[in-house]
């Protein structure tokens, strides 16, 4: 119903009530007639007012009219009220259905989520069971390894006792040396970062082979690329110092005074060459390295696989031993003869068990003669391996049967090698070759360089080489 109809109804109710309460039942005069009557009666004129009431929304109850009925289209009936109630009921019912549907969907999503959580929980339980089984398996393997380690440790202890007995017997045989009760001074330098062993690598196979002197090859056989054997007599063993002089005469180019002269003569391939230093009569086989720092380097020592025993006497270290294409020591007398030709420099290459290579270079290098026990003379240090050799500068060479160190005992006995020991020293490149880096021993007898890895870290490979100073 429109607002005008509601207002009209209210006014009609008010008029009807007023008429029923009034006692006046005469004719109703119009405004104009009342004005004329008042003028005739001589009454004073009064002002009349007309009020415009603004439209208002009906919020209270509606009075039922006692007067004549309104037209049907403007009348509020019981059916209208019933229709309103039905409309409100339908709206409330729709709202209720919507809310029920929403709750149902939420419940459905919650059920699905709980089912997914149950599946994830079942998968997690399966993984936990698998991990538990794997842990049990690893625990069993660990116990087996512990048993094996215990047996190996017992074996090592037995071997250590045997070695100690043999060492004591060896000292008794030599006679002039007794086993000192004083402890061996340990290396004081312990780097912060010790190289960690990752995995063993197979040492590279040496190039070439050994030359059979009883059945020499026929023709111009090449063992090192395009280098003929008649030019350099490659791959002789180091202890064969060209004893057959008539075979050396067959060399058309050479022998050379050192590896730099061989490279300058056009032999740029790395390998074994025949060298004859100035003032010597017998040539010697040596390995020439031409792939390092412009080439021309003569190797005086190499360690790479532990195939050669370096715990030897004075005579062996003087003459040299090992295979020139593998582990070898060139010989103190040969190193002395090479170094006295002119000014040489020294390069020491070290490789740890992670494959990292470092070096230590010294600006000058030579040895004094045997009368001075091949005393070491070094120049200034340069490199990234740390200076562990300068402390040996000016020291005489020591072996088990020639004790020239400053220690009360024999450093060669404790370090299992021959070296320029002091008391005893920071480097032991002729020591025992231990696989894996960090080793366990009664003494610091590995192939160690104290400023790189410490005294109980054995290097994987070592090369010492000399070259004339430019």
464's tokens:
């010492």
| More confident call, 73 vs 396 | 396
Identify the pLDDT of residue 367: 96
Instruction: Mark 129-160 as b/e (b = at least 16 C-beta within 10 Å).
Output: eeeeeeeeeeeeeeeeeeeeeeeeeeeeeeee
Identify the pLDDT of residue 169: 78
Distance CA 301, CA 338 (A): 14
Selection from 367, 388, 362, 379 nearest residue 459 by Cα: 388
Which of 174-188, 268-282, 357-371 shows the highest mean pLDDT?
Answer: 357-371
Domain 259-468 has CATH 3.90.215.10: yes
pLDDT > 70? residue 61: no
Q: How confident is the model at residue 333 (pLDDT cuts 50, 70, 90)?
A: very high
Instruction: Mark 181-195 as b/e (b = at least 16 C-beta within 10 Å).
Output: eeebbebebeeeeeb
Identify the pLDDT of residue 277: 93
Query: In whole numbers, what is the pLDDT of the chain averaged over residues?
Result: 77
pLDDT tens track for 64-91 = 555 555 555 556 677 777 777 778 787 7
Which range has the worst mean pLDDT, 73-87, 186-200, 377-391? 186-200
| More confident call, 41 vs 81 | 81
Identify the pLDDT of residue 106: 87
Q: How confident is the model at residue 6 (pLDDT cuts 50, 70, 90)?
A: low
Residue 457 DSSP code: B
Q: What are phi and psi of 62, to 5 degrees?
A: -105, 125
Distance CA 340, CA 393 (A): 17
pLDDT tens track for 448-461 = 999 998 899 999 99
pLDDT > 50? residue 226: no
Cβ 301 vs Cβ 463: under 8 Å: yes
Which of 2-16, 119-133, 381-395 shows the highest mean pLDDT?
Answer: 381-395
Identify the pLDDT of residue 165: 79
Distance CA 324, CA 295 (A): 18
Identify the pLDDT of residue 287: 95
Identify the pLDDT of residue 305: 93
| More confident call, 225 vs 387 | 387
pLDDT > 70? residue 199: no
Identify the pLDDT of residue 254: 60
Distance CA 159, CA 169 (A): 15
Task: Report how far apart, in Å, the C-alpha atoms of 102 and of each of 92, 95, 96, 108 are.
Answer: 15, 11, 10, 10
pLDDT > 70? residue 380: yes
Helix, strand, coil % over all residues of the chain, rounded to 5: 35, 15, 50
Q: How do the domains of the chain map onto residue ranges?
A: 259-468
| More confident call, 143 vs 76 | 143
Question: For residue 264, how many C-alpha atoms fall within 13 Å in the half-sphere facing its CB?
Answer: 9
| More confident call, 381 vs 97 | 381
Cβ 265 vs Cβ 255: under 8 Å: no
Q: Where are the beta strands (DSSP E) in 156-313?
A: 222-224, 227-228, 271-275, 284-289, 297-303
Cβ 336 vs Cβ 354: under 8 Å: no
pLDDT > 50? residue 200: no
pLDDT > 50? residue 241: no
Identify the pLDDT of residue 36: 52
Which range has the worst mean pLDDT, 170-179, 296-305, 402-411, 439-448? 170-179
Q: How confident is the model at residue 320 (pLDDT cuts 50, 70, 90)?
A: very high
Selection from 212, 216, 321, 208 nearest residue 273 by Cα: 208
Identify the pLDDT of residue 337: 95
Q: How confident is the model at residue 391 (pLDDT cuts 50, 70, 90)?
A: very high
pLDDT > 90? residue 153: no
């Amino acid at each position: 119903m429109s607002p005008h109809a509601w207002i009209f109804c209210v006014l009609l109710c008010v008029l009807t009530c007023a008429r029923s309460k009034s006692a006046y039942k005469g004719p109703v005069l119009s405004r104009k007639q009342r004005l004329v009557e008042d003028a005739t009666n001589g009454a004073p004129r009064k002002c009349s007012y007309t009020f415009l009431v603004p439209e208002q929304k009906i919020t209270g109850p509606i009075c039922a009219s006692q007067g004549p009925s309104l037209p049907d289209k403007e009348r509020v009936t019981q059916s209208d009220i019933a229709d309103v109630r039905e409309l409100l009921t339908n709206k409330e019912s729709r709202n209720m259905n919507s809310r029920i549907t929403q709750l149902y969907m939420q419940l459905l999503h919650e059920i699905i989520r709980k089912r997914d959580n149950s599946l994830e929980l079942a998968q997690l339980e399966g993984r936990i069971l698998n991990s538990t089984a794997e842990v049990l398996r690893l625990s069993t393997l660990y116990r087996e390894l512990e048993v094996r380690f215990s047996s190996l440790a017992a074996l090592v202890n037995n071997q250590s006792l045997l070695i100690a007995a043999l060492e004591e017997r060896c000292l008794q045989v030599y006679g002039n040396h007794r086993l000192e009760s004083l402890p061996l001074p340990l290396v004081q330098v312990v780097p912060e970062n010790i190289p960690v062993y990752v995995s063993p690598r197979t040492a590279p196979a040496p190039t070439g082979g050994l030359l059979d002197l009883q059945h020499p090859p026929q023709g111009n056989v090449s063992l090192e690329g395009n280098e003929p054997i008649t030019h350099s007599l490659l791959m002789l063993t180091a202890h064969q110092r060209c004893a057959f002089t008539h075979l050396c005469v067959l060399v058309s180019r050479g022998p050379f005074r050192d590896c730099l002269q061989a490279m300058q003569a056009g032999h740029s391939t790395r390998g074994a060459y025949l060298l004859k230093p100035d003032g010597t009569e017998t040539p010697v086989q040596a390995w020439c390295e031409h792939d390092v720092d412009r080439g021309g380097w003569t190797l005086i020592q190499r360690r790479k696989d532990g195939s050669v025993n370096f715990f030897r006497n004075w005579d062996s270290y003087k003459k040299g031993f090992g295979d020139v294409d593998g582990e070898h020591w060139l010989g103190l007398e040969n190193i002395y003869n090479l170094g006295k030709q002119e000014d040489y420099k020294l390069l020491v290459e070290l490789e740890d068990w992670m494959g990292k290579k470092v070096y230590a270079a010294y600006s000058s290098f030579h040895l004094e003669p045997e009368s001075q026990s091949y005393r070491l003379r070094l120049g200034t240090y340069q490199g990234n391996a740390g200076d562990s050799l300068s402390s040996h500068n000016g020291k005489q060479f020591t072996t088990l049967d020639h004790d020239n160190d400053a220690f009360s005992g024999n450093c060669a006995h404790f370090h299992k090698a021959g070296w320029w020991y002091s008391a005893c020293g920071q480097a032991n490149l002729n020591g025992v070759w231990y696989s894996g880096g960090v080793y366990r021993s009664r003494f610091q007898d590995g192939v160690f360089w104290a400023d790189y890895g410490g005294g109980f870290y054995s290097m994987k490979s070592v090369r010492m080489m000399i070259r004339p100073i430019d």
